[in-house]
Chain A
Amino acid sequence: MSRGNRSRIIRSGSWPLAVFLVFTAAAVWAGQAFFERLKQEQKALAASTLTSVGKLKAEQIRSNFARDERFALSIAQLLGQGGLADWLDGAPSEMPRPLQESLLIVLRNRAGSSLLVLDTTANLRFGAGQFTQLTEEGRRLALRAMAEPRPVSSDIYWGDPSAPEQALLDTFVPIQSSGRDSTVGVIVLRNDLAYLYGLIQTWPVESPTAESFLVRLDGDHALFLNEARFRKQTALRMRVPLSASPDFSGWPSTAAARGQVGIWEARDYLDHAILAYTLPVPGPVSGWGMVVKMDLTEVFAPVQRLKNTTIGVTVSFILLALPALGSWLWLLRRNAEREIAERERIGQINDQLEQRVRERTAELEQANLVLVESETRFRMLVEGVTDYAIFMLDPDGRVASWNAGAERLKGYRADEIIGEHFSRFYPEEDVARGKPAKELEAAASEGRFEDEAWRVRKDGSRFWADVIVTALRDETGQLRGFSKITRDLTLRRQADEAIRQLNEELEQRVRERTQALDASNKELVAFSYSVSHDLRSPLRSIDGFSQVLLEDHGGQLDAEGRAHLERIRAAAQRMGGLIDDLLTLSRITQAELRRQAVDLSALVGKVAEELRRREQDRVVSFAIEPGLVARADPRLLRIALENLLGNAWKFTRHTPEAHVSFGLLQTDGAAAYYVRDNGAGFDMAYADKLFTPFQRLHSPREFEGTGIGLAIVARVIHRHGGEIRAEAAVGQGATMHFTLGPGGAEADREEAKA
């Protein structure tokens, strides 16, 4: 494909744009001409409307005044026939009642009118209605009417000059007496012009700008005779100089005042461009003209609307057409480019296709080779497996393949089992229950089935087997058969059985051991009991009879002999204490721990009180932190506190100001209770011996004791899961710190009381 061809195809897409532009220009020009013509036609139509309306109104005004004049004449005629002439001739007096009444009847039918009667000298003799005054101008016009004699009209004037609201116009009609054939007076019919103004201002159709008004010459001005539609207080007030040029505001009124007839495009008193028609009006006095006008915007409004609509539609059309045109051009261009690209591509694709066919063929050959290899390897692998029986079943359950493991496990050779149904591997009872078929069904529906059960070898012997059956399906989901993997678990089952037996034996031995322990425990309890009871009896005898000896035969002994007896007694009593302490120690070990809320502060208080009571001659001050409540066994804790406080009491014996304190101390983030004294203390080097039974850090000569007390305390604390430690220095007192284990958290004080 040559480059020239290519650009030709692309260029051929631009001619529609040129055509579009030419048509658009032509349409604009034709449209403009068309609208110009429409405007001229519209103007002609408006002019004819204005002309018709003007003529109609002029005729209405004329006939209105003619009617008024006729009316006045008929009244004058009526009055001339009655006794009016005599009354007018006579000295001024009230008009005879019948005449008055007839005049009032006449007036009643003409709302807003007034009626005056003048005598021949134009003096006012009777007046009825709203306005009954007579001006000098009025008298002049009355005399003129009588002199001519014919009806004469005044011009328009304000009924009340001080409040120019009501415009009036008088018609003077001479009264001819029918009897005398002469003028006897003048009747003045004074008309309110509201009706006339209404007539002038009404427009036959609804129009936003159209109006008509009367003007007359007033010197070198045109004077508006009535109120303009769009400006108030123009009647008898607004003037336009006659010398104004035709483009001056309100110029048409001067044309009307001059009596010109014609259609004008000019500017009105509002300085709007208007279309006006002027004509003279044959009114009651000469020099009246009328302007009938309408704004040019209204004249052209229909054309303008049409024009706007047309432009709108056209522009919308163009706006819509442009994208379409653009899309069309783009499509043309794109198609051309595609055509080129397509032709170029097809050539390439052909080449590539051939290349790929060659490659694919090579790949397939290679894959085939790999597949054959892998299949061979896999088959060899499966066949070589001897620990597992791996074989295939067809969908009906007949053996389709057989490996070495299967042969070893089940005893069949491949050639004698292939094609046989696999149910022969099951014990008779399983076959009777339909188990083989059920397993295949389960594998077919679940995809896989696992079982541990007995299977039968060729020689009829049984083995415990772990079996996995897997359904084999092709790509379409069609069942093609099953693979079956069987493992001999007989050995494992035997091992399991051995373990089970061992466990049972073990349990039996545990039971026996427990029984033995229970028995020995009972013996121990019995032993404790006999220690408590039987070991003490001789001691009582030793002590008792030593005392008897002292009491009964003390006189036969010297001081030394008596001292020996006292030593015997002391030893017996010490041994009694030892036995008691040992019993306590053993009881603590055996006793069940029963935790409850214990008020330690109160307990310490009680023990202190007991000590004071026992040795009332000693002075020891106690400081007990109040409100310490813990969860502990109250009996065991009492034993522990008795020992701790007893020690404190004992070891402060040689301290001048003995002081013992109890409280709770936070150390290293943990809270520990403490019992502190300022007594003899001890060397920390021996602290590790402190809690061992019979270990004493002081000689009996210094401080008495069995050496079991702290062992008891330590056992109580350990029973609670707590810890105890000592802190001391020789001659500086000792502090025993202890905790009460995880269950000993501070309890509610109220609970402790309860």
Chain B
Amino acid sequence: MKREGVILLVEDNPDDEALTLRALKKNNLANEVVVARDGVEALDYLFGAGAYAGRDVSQLPKLVLLDLNLPRLSGLDVLRRIRLEPTTQILPVVVLTSSKEDRDLVDSYRLGANSYVRKPVDFVEFVEAARQLGLYWLVVNEPPPRVGSV
């Protein structure tokens, strides 16, 4: 069952990438997942630059899962850009990270993160977290209307 809408996973660690994809899959979240391996790549995808030049940027992902500790451009910088650009201003962004530093939490929410989830060590717990995330953001939550149509 192919769901409508793309999930943009911004994650540099391939292990984490694999585990996250598995967790999503285990929960039958069949949306297409686009993986960006650093901050720059994530922005390229969102704004149709670099490797993604010419992409129809009006097709926004349904959800962005954003790691904070990224090479080149950090997760917080990515979030800042997303919130600065009118087209992505209201895009749902869930921070998915190992850190539970207060500073990261506060900065993320201050920059407009919609949610903050700490990746647990226990994979069973992580699967449960992914289930709840997917259920909420992809099924329960009503996404914002497309910016272009407003």
**Partner-B contacts on A (CB < 8 A):** 528-529, 532-534, 536-537, 539-541, 543-548, 569, 572-573, 575-576, 580, 583
Contact = CB atoms under 8 A, between A and B. Distances in A.
Nearest to A576: B121
Contacts of A548: 19, 22, 123
A547 B99 contact: no
Given A547-B123, A547-B124, A576-B121, A540 B99 contact: no
Nearest to B122: A573
Contacts of B98: 532-534, 536-537, 540
Contact of A543 (B99, B101, B121): B121
A583 B100 CA distance: 10
Given A541-B19, A548-B22, A532 B122 contact: no
A548 B19 CA distance: 9
B95 to A, nearest CB: 13
A545 B17 CA distance: 12
Contacts of A572: 121
B99 A541 contact: no
Contacts of A536: 98, 119, 121
Contacts of B101: 528-529, 532
A540 B16 CA distance: 8
Contact of A573 (B13, B22, B121): B121
A544 B99 contact: no
A547 B120 CA distance: 14
A572 B125 CA distance: 13
B100 A544 contact: no
Interface in B120-150: 120-124, 126
A350 to B, nearest CB: 110
Contacts, number: 62
A532 B15 contact: no
A470 to B, nearest CB: 70
B22 A529 contact: no
A536 B124 CA distance: 16
B27 interface: no
Contact of A540 (B69, B100, B121): B121
The binding surface of chain B is classed by DSSP as loop
Contact of B99 (A532, A539, A546, A573): A532
Contacts of A532: 98-101
A529 to B, nearest CB: 6
Nearest to B15: A541
Interface in B6-27: 13, 15-16, 19, 22
Contacts of B121: 536, 539-540, 543, 572-573, 575-576
Q: Which range holds the interface residue count of chain B?
A: 10 to 19
Interface in B77-110: 97-101
A347 to B, nearest CB: 113
Nearest to A584: B100
Contacts of A576: 120-122
Nearest to B104: A529
A575 B121 CA distance: 9
Given A540-B19, A544-B15, A544-B19, A533 B69 contact: yes
B16 A543 contact: no
A36 to B, nearest CB: 134
A545 B99 contact: no
A573 B124 CA distance: 11
A109 B27 CA distance: 160
Contact of B13 (A528, A537, A580): A537
Contact of A544 (B69, B97, B123): B123
A495 B69 CA distance: 58
Nearest to B97: A533
Interface string B25-65: 00000000000000000000000000000000000000000
Given A539-B121, A540-B121, 19 more contacts: A529-B99, A532-B101, A533-B69, A533-B97, A533-B99, A534-B69, A534-B98, A536-B119, A537-B98, A540-B119, A541-B19, A543-B122, A544-B15, A544-B126, A545-B19, A547-B123, A547-B124, A572-B121, A576-B121
A543 B98 CA distance: 14
B123 A540 contact: yes
A170 B131 CA distance: 162
Nearest to B124: A547
A543 B123 CA distance: 6
28 contacts: A528-B101, A529-B99, A529-B101, A532-B98, A532-B101, A533-B97, A533-B98, A534-B69, A534-B98, A536-B121, A537-B13, A537-B15, A537-B16, A540-B16, A540-B98, A540-B119, A540-B120, A540-B123, A540-B126, A541-B15, A541-B19, A543-B121, A544-B19, A544-B126, A546-B123, A547-B123, A569-B122, A572-B121
Contacts of A546: 123
A580 B122 CA distance: 13
A655 to B, nearest CB: 27
Contacts of B119: 536, 540
A569 B101 CA distance: 24
Contacts of B22: 544, 548
Nearest to A532: B99
Complex A-B, nearest 10 residue pairs according to Cβ-Cβ distance, in ascending order: A576-B121, A541-B15, A544-B123, A544-B19, A547-B123, A536-B98, A533-B98, A539-B121, A533-B99, A543-B123
Nearest to B22: A548
Contacts of B13: 537, 541
A45 B68 CA distance: 151
A542 to B, nearest CB: 8
A544 B124 CA distance: 8
Contacts of A528: 101
Nearest to A540: B121
B125 to A, nearest CB: 9
A540 B17 CA distance: 11
A536 B119 CA distance: 9
A545 B15 CA distance: 8
A540 B126 CA distance: 9
A539 B119 CA distance: 11
Contacts of B19: 540-541, 544-545, 548
Contacts of A583: 100
A544 B119 CA distance: 11
Contacts of A540: 15-16, 19, 98, 119-121, 123, 126
A264 B56 CA distance: 171
Which of A528, A529, A532, A583: most chain B Cβ within 10 A?
Answer: A532
A543 B122 CA distance: 6
A552 B19 CA distance: 13
Contacts of B99: 529, 532-533
Which of B69, B120, B123: most chain A Cβ within 10 A?
Answer: B123
A546 B126 CA distance: 14
B116 to A, nearest CB: 14
A634 to B, nearest CB: 14
A525 to B, nearest CB: 9
A545 B16 CA distance: 10
Contacts of A529: 99, 101
A335 B120 CA distance: 127
Contacts of A539: 121
